[in-house]
Amino acid sequence: MPSYFAEVATRLLQSRDQLAPDELRGLAEQIRDEIWEPLGHVAEGSSSDALQEALGLLSSIMTALDETAAKLDLAAEKVIDYLADTYTVAADRGLATTVPDWTSAPESRSVPHPSTLPPEAMPASHDLNWAQGQQTKLEDRPNNKGPTTGLVFFGNDTTTERVITSGAPPSPTPGTPDSVEDRADRELIAAATLILANSIRLRLRIPGAVPAVRDHVEVKVATVMRQRGITYASVVINNRKVCEDEFGCINAVPAILPHGYTLVVWPRGATKPVILKGKAQP
């Protein structure tokens, strides 16, 4: 590559990396976790106008930080778009186009960007007694093996559950039409596979690889949340843990959910939930 193109590419990529939108998101999450949520619990039993105003101001600050981070992401993408256009032209002219530290394709922006979590949902979905009550509705997994079943509660509704099971439905018998439920489940798994295979955060070692976690309960729930713009949900599962390996649910769910989205997971026998917060671009 001519030195001029190499220098321009290096400077632009350095500028992109210095935008650091994740620092703003980290600050928003810190405010949410350490100030806004605890203050919200205190405010439940208070009629103080000052306290409500403080919560409103903090909510506005978190929203502004998330929106600014999203704009920084967009600016970074525009830098990449410029480089892609520039080096396409360079290639047409017979010039070398290798750029150091190239990036994956940007993630989908099809889901609306959320602002805050519904505070009325948090007390119930974080309550151990509530979770234990839901666990009684689930059968045990034989020898802790086999498909995982989860009771899912979307938004601030902690009384109406939806049942989701891990794994893919069996292939339909030739000549027999596929059921609506099985077809919807396959489409959900396909959507999760596409999101994870192209995730900048998950970074699968083999481009286009099919992640095994694609049909886990937590991943299915996260995919539904992303598709429908549901910013908060909880799921109680009859599995004793959330898979924690590099490409497990602990990392896959945040790679699916946009910033501001939260999935609360109660494994079997847990005394506190696993809280997975979205880190993907909306």
Residues 139 and 255 in one domain: yes
102 belongs to a structural domain = no
Residues 37 and 169 in one domain: no
pLDDT band at 235 (very low <50, low <70, confident <90, very high): very high
164 torsion bin: left (phi>0), alpha (psi -120 to 50), beta (else)? beta
108 belongs to a structural domain = no
Domain boundary among 56, 74, 92: 92
Domain boundary among 73, 92, 111: 92
Which is nearest to 90 in space by CA: 27, 23, 159, 8?
8
Domain coverage including residue 207? 119-277
Number of H helices, E strands in the chain: 9, 5
- Confirm whether pTM is higher than 0.85: no
Domain boundary among 92, 111, 142: 92
71 belongs to a structural domain = yes
Predicted confidence (pLDDT) at residue 2 exceeds the cutoff of 50: no
What tokens does 261 get? 């989205």
- Average pLDDT of 12-34? 73
Residues 228 and 142 in one domain: yes
57 belongs to a structural domain = yes
Residues 152 and 260 in one domain: yes
Residues 13 and 53 in one domain: yes
Compute CA distances 225 → 33, 71, 72, 81, 151, whole Å: 21, 23, 24, 29, 14
Which pLDDT score, from 0 to 100, does residue 96 have?
39
Residues 144 and 248 in one domain: yes
Predicted confidence (pLDDT) at residue 52 exceeds the cutoff of 70: yes
Predicted confidence (pLDDT) at residue 239 exceeds the cutoff of 90: yes
Predicted confidence (pLDDT) at residue 151 exceeds the cutoff of 60: yes
Predicted confidence (pLDDT) at residue 152 exceeds the cutoff of 50: yes
pLDDT band at 269 (very low <50, low <70, confident <90, very high): very high
Residues 168 and 262 in one domain: yes
- Average pLDDT of 19-47? 79
Residues 43 and 150 in one domain: no
98 belongs to a structural domain = no
Domain tally, the chain: 2
Report strand pairing: 262-266 vs 149-154: unpaired
- Average pLDDT of 104-110? 40
Predicted confidence (pLDDT) at residue 255 exceeds the cutoff of 50: yes
Predicted confidence (pLDDT) at residue 89 exceeds the cutoff of 70: no
- Say how many C-beta atoms besides its own lie within 10 A of residue 262's C-beta: 23
Predicted confidence (pLDDT) at residue 102 exceeds the cutoff of 70: no
Residues 180 and 267 in one domain: yes
106 belongs to a structural domain = no
More confident site: 111 or 146: 146
Which pLDDT score, from 0 to 100, does residue 129 have?
92
Residues 24 and 81 in one domain: yes
202 belongs to a structural domain = yes
Residues 128 and 262 in one domain: yes
Summarize the chain as % helix, strand, coil (round to 5).
Answer: 50, 10, 40
In eight-state DSSP terms, residue 155 is: T
